[in-house]
């Protein structure tokens, strides 16, 4: 066993690039065609290598998917935000995540497969519980942060579905400003709106 290959910054060894190529191809194809729709052979072809290598580097398709479906929304930065602008802030971050220059297919991977793959569904619920919920809890009564975060997620997830996966024409056509202007207030009300109405 090699005790030094893990997390050690001094190994840009030959194989690491292949490994990265596989993972990149996997993320792309999983995001585009879902878990079932993207075969290991497809991933291998996209990475210009042999299918057997995919299994060699990642032990199985499940494990490859687990490695590919890592999502970091980078939401903690929003904790210090004005609670009066939390709605707009969330939509802007949403657009950044899905369309920003540094955006990966991370969320697409999960959302594309979550409807028919229990692992992806569980992972998506994790993202909700560990990343979205805390942000909402920080700007409202933590007691019903779950309910509020759930409503926020329903709107954002639905928007992502319609715009990026289902590609509903009128939703695709919406400009960033329109989305911020229309959806922002909704999230604002869900996140910090009065309880009684």
Positions that interact with a copy of itself (CB under 8 A): 33-34, 36-37, 111-116, 121, 124-125, 128, 146-147, 149-151, 153-159, 161-163, 165-171, 173-174, 178, 181-183, 185-186, 189-190, 197
- For binding to DNA (CB under 7 A), which residues are involved? 2, 13-15, 18, 38-42, 49-56, 59-62
Minimal distance, residue 70 CB to DNA, in Å? 18
**CA atoms of 181 and 91, how far apart (whole Å):** 9
Minimal distance, residue 5 CB to DNA, in Å? 8
**CA atoms of 162 and 148, how far apart (whole Å):** 21
What letter would DSSP give residue 98? H
Residue 27 binding result from a copy of itself, DNA, none, given CB thresholds of 5 to 8 Å by partner type: none
Distances (CA, A) of 10 to 1, 5, 50, 141: 18, 9, 27, 46
Q: Which is nearer to a copy of itself, 53 or 120 (CB)?
A: 120
Minimal distance, residue 38 CB to a copy of itself, in Å? 9
**CA atoms of 89 and 77, how far apart (whole Å):** 11
Angle between helix 86-99 and 145-160 (nearest 10): 40
Minimal distance, residue 62 CB to DNA, in Å? 6
Minimal distance, residue 133 CB to DNA, in Å? 32
Q: Which is nearer to DNA, 2 or 7 (CB)?
A: 2
- Transcribe 177-196 into DSSP letters: HHHHHHHHHHHHHHHHS-S-
Q: Half-sphere exposure of residue 154, counting CA atoms within 13 Å on the CB side?
A: 9
Residue 33 binding result from DNA, a copy of itself, none, given CB thresholds of 5 to 8 Å by partner type: a copy of itself
């Amino acid at each position: 066993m090699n005790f030094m290959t893990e997390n050690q910054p001094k190994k840009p060894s030959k194989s690491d690039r292949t490994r990265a190529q596989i993972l990149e191809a996997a993320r792309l194809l999983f995001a585009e065609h879902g878990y079932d729709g993207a075969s290991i052979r497809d991933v291998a072809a996209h990475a210009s290598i042999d299918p057997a290598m995919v299994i060699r580097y990642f032990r199985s398709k499940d494990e490859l998917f687990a490695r590919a479906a890592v999502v970091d929304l980078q939401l903690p930065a929003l904790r210090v935000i004005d609670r009066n602008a939390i709605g707009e802030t969330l939509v802007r971050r949403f657009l950044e995540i899905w369309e920003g220059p540094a955006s990966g297919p991370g969320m697409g991977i999960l959302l594309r497969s979550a409807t028919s793959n229990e692992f992806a569904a569980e992972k998506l619920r994790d993202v909700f519980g560990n990343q979205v919920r805390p942000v909402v809890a920080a700007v409202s009564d933590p007691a019903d942060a779950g309910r509020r975060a759930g409503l926020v997620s329903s709107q954002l997830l639905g928007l992502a579905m319609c715009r990026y996966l289902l590609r509903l024409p009128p939703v695709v056509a919406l400009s960033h400003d329109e989305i911020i202007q229309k959806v922002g207030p909704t999230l604002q009300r869900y996140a910090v709106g009065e309880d009684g109405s």
